[in-house]
């Protein structure tokens, strides 16, 4: 434990689940029912799970496509869900996350659909 954490009172420490790059305004989807927010969050894990299944089955194009689509989904829902739900998936500012995830995801989707199947 760091020295500052030992000396500080717990209520004085920042919440580790809140991204310091995010403004104090509530995100657009904060008013949505909690089950909708968690359903969108669960879709991320479904995409990651599908990616891992395709990867394990050595379906490289499908795995790349799923990971790319999951990255695009992450960039989009980063704009709507609060940081307390997204946790580690909210890395930088919303604009950076949207741009980065969308560009990388779109690149992966493009590569997965443009590469020849090579006889499969």
Dump pLDDT digits (tens) for 7-56. 667 777 776 666 777 777 777 888 889 999 899 999 999 999 999 999 99
Which pTM value belongs to this model?
A: 0.79
Whose CA is closest to 106, among 69, 77, 81, 52? 69
Burial of 62 (0-12, 13-18, 19+ CB in 10 A): middle
Residue appearing with tokens 């779109």 = 106
- State the pLDDT confidence band at 119, using cuts at 50, 70 and 90: low
* R_g over Cα of the chain: 18
Q: What is the pLDDT of residue 70?
A: 96
């Amino acid at each position: 434990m760091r020295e500052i954490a030992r000396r500080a009172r717990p209520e004085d420490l920042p919440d580790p689940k809140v991204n310091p790059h995010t403004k104090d305004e509530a995100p657009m989807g904060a008013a949505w029912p909690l089950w909708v927010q968690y359903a969108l969050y669960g879709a991320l894990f479904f995409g990651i799970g599908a990616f891992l299944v395709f990867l394990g089955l050595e379906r490289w194009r499908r795995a790349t496509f799923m990971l790319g689509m999951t990255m695009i989904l992450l960039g989009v829902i980063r704009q709507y869900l609060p940081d307390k739900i997204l946790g580690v998936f909210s890395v930088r500012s919303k604009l950076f996350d949207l741009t980065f995830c969308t560009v990388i995801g779109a690149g992966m989707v493009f590569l997965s659909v443009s590469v020849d199947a090579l006889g499969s």
